[in-house]
Amino acid sequence: MMSLLKSAFCGVASRTTGSSITGLFLDHLKVLSAGLKTYHQPPDYSDVVLPERPKLKFMNKVPNLKKVKKEMKNLNDIRGPAKNGTAFTTGQYGIVALGGGYLHWGHMEMMRLTINRHIDPRTTFALWRISGPYKPITRRGLGKRMGGGKGAIDHYVTPVRYGRLVLEVGGSCELGEVEPVLTEVAKKLPFPAKVVSRESLAAMQQKEAEEAQSNQNPWTFKMVVTANMLGIRKVLSPFDLHNHGRFSGKFHNPGRVPGTPDTEFLHMRSEIHLKVTMKPSRASERASTRGPKMSGKRRQKRLSQDPGPSRETCETQKQPQKRLGKGGENGAARKVKGQEKWKLLPKTSITALESILDLSILSVLTMRGKGKDEYQRHLNQLKDRFLASCAQLKVPPRKQGDMLQVSRLHQAESKKKTVGQRTLQALEDEVRTVVGALEQMEVKMDSLEQEIRTLRRKLEDEEESAQEILQLSENGVLNLPALPPQVTRELPLQDRMVKDLDAAALASALHSSAEVREVRAFLELAHEQADQLLLNTQGPSAFTGPEDSPTRDI
């Protein structure tokens, strides 16, 4: 009844209202009913197929292997994004990992018991997207000093990376029915995770791809690391160089995507610089010569091991310094040829440097909770000193670079790159279509060749049968079926006729037959007609009666 009222009201509203609100009334999910309660259209689960075992299966605590190899306690298997298991297979909802971590057998058993108790196996199913525990873990890691060799294996775990689906839930159910259970399970996992559906997971992946593709900022993490700006590669690991800072250890940085403005490297570098510059220095501005304090026995052992400087080192130290060049200057401090023609750094480059430094200062201050004024004052002083030194810096005219022009050129090149990628994608699509057409033609050719082979076989069979028929016709021998065997010997027809009938009986049978009678009657009529004709032509003298005719005796 409610559906009929909704459809009727929608039809009336679409006829009476204007074009501005037509879409609102035509939407079956947004019906403006007069005091009637609106309901969403129920989803269609006709295409859902339940498996034979709808519940989560039991995971083995120990892998079924003959001999397990002991591994190092490294984080390579949980760092970075997952390469497989990031899309749904048959379910509609699931739990996705937002960071790396290790799943123990207890976590899997917790998920299995919690979900199997709350789902209805008649309408809902659940399945694993991860394998059972297979990585061995010992109490003490490899490479540590301990007697008696490597320790025994304590337990097994399953590594999980960012973006990996842990499990799936599907069937004739909505997200509101299974979300509380999945949320409770996700909170107990050893890494951050959340509940997703097919639509939300696709939207999350699409958002990450769009953010990585739409950004046009030239100062990216990859560019900064490649150019080794501020010596950033000294404090970065190979893992950071590979993943461009998107992952710190086993955790995912949601704010860092490829191609976005990168300020964390400046924050990291500024922190290192602050630690070095704000450390209390010595009054004499010289390096410390006093080593760490040691106990008495250790100090005596150290002195016994250090016999003092050798003779060779003393001789090398006593060698005079190298001769200076003309004017009393060393070779490294000589003037470069053409240095008189150098000019000061342009203002455009100085303004670009100032904007970069301001951005880095803001990024550092946002990460600090206390003492922002002191940090800001110190960083501004460093910035002013650096810009003042840059204003007095002379650069060669040929190598004088305009950083704003470089950024514009980089943007232009990035636009060209995007256009080239689009054209390349179009060419790839065309190539795929051509390859698909060629594959279809190959399939058709194969089918035609198969038909040709079958027709050739039929033709050969017909030729063989025709040759057999021709050979039979040339030989002149008929392959007639054999006569059935005779049990008793029968007499010929002539003998049987002689034995059965007598001559007199045969004559009487012939005279008494109806055919003979008809012939006689016909002959009599013929004679009568002939006699009448003769009488009319010759006269009465030539007439002879039927008694004298020879046919009467027959």
Between residues 244 and 376, which one has the greater pLDDT? 376
pLDDT bracket for residue 539 (50, 70, 90): low
Predicted confidence (pLDDT) per residue in 217-243, tens digit: 666 777 788 778 778 878 887 777 777
Arithmetic mean of pLDDT, 362-378: 78
Between residues 104 and 253, which one has the greater pLDDT? 104
Arithmetic mean of pLDDT, 24-49: 63
Q: Which of 17-26, 103-112, 246-255 has the lowest mean pLDDT?
A: 17-26
Predicted confidence (pLDDT) per residue in 481-504, tens digit: 776 666 556 677 777 776 766 777
Q: Is a pLDDT exceeding 50 seen at residue 62?
A: yes
Predicted confidence (pLDDT) per residue in 174-220, tens digit: 999 999 999 999 999 999 999 999 999 999 999 888 877 776 666 67
Q: Is a pLDDT exceeding 50 seen at residue 446?
A: yes
- Grouping H, G, I as helix, E, B as strand and the rest as coil, residue 273 is helix
Q: What is the pLDDT of residue 428?
A: 93
Cβ atoms < 10 Å from Cβ of 153: 14
Q: Is a pLDDT exceeding 70 seen at residue 392?
A: yes
Predicted confidence (pLDDT) per residue in 79-92, tens digit: 889 999 999 999 99
Q: What is the pLDDT of residue 314?
A: 45
Q: What is the pLDDT of residue 149?
A: 64
DSSP string over 94-114: EEEESB-EEEEHHHHHHHHHH
Between residues 286 and 460, which one has the greater pLDDT? 460
Q: Which of 58-72, 448-462, 470-484 has the lowest mean pLDDT?
A: 470-484
Contact 179, 195 (CB under 8 A): yes
Predicted confidence (pLDDT) per residue in 138-148, tens digit: 877 666 676 66
Q: What is the pLDDT of residue 44?
A: 83
Where in 21-68 does DSSP place strands (E)? none
pLDDT bracket for residue 109 (50, 70, 90): very high
Q: Which amino acid is at 42?
A: P
* CA distance linking residue 27 with residue 21, whole number of Å: 10
Predicted confidence (pLDDT) per residue in 307-360, tens digit: 444 444 444 444 444 444 444 444 444 566 777 778 888 888 888 888 889 888
Tell me the CA distances in angstroms from 199 to 205, 206, 234, one per residue in order. Answer: 10, 10, 42
* CA distance linking residue 257 with residue 244, whole number of Å: 8
Contact 243, 224 (CB under 8 A): no
Q: What is the pLDDT of residue 169?
A: 96
Contact 188, 107 (CB under 8 A): yes
Predicted confidence (pLDDT) per residue in 264-278, tens digit: 444 444 444 444 444
Query: What DSSP designation does 500 have?
Result: H
First vs last C-alpha separation in the chain: 112
* CA distance linking residue 200 with residue 404, whole number of Å: 40
Contact 183, 197 (CB under 8 A): no
Q: Which two tokens stand for residue 232?
A: 């950033």
Q: What is the pLDDT of residue 451?
A: 94
Contact 185, 102 (CB under 8 A): no
φ, ψ (nearest 5 deg) of residue 276: -80, -45
Contact 221, 256 (CB under 8 A): yes
Contact 115, 169 (CB under 8 A): yes
* CA distance linking residue 425 with residue 405, whole number of Å: 30
Arithmetic mean of pLDDT, 385-410: 74
Predicted confidence (pLDDT) per residue in 414-426, tens digit: 899 999 999 999 9
Backbone torsion region of residue 485, taken as left when φ is above 0, otherwise alpha when ψ lies between -120 and 50, otherwise beta: beta
Arithmetic mean of pLDDT, 250-271: 53
Q: What is the pLDDT of residue 195?
A: 96
Decide the pairing of beta strands 247-248 and 135-138.
unpaired
Q: Which two tokens stand for residue 492?
A: 């010929």
Strand order in the sheet with 101-104: 101-104, 153-160, 135-138
Tell me what the pLDDT averaged over the chain comes to.
Answer: 75
Q: What is the pLDDT of residue 82?
A: 92
Q: Is a pLDDT exceeding 80 seen at residue 387?
A: yes
> Virtual CA dihedral for 121, 125, 128, 133, nearest 10 degrees?
-10
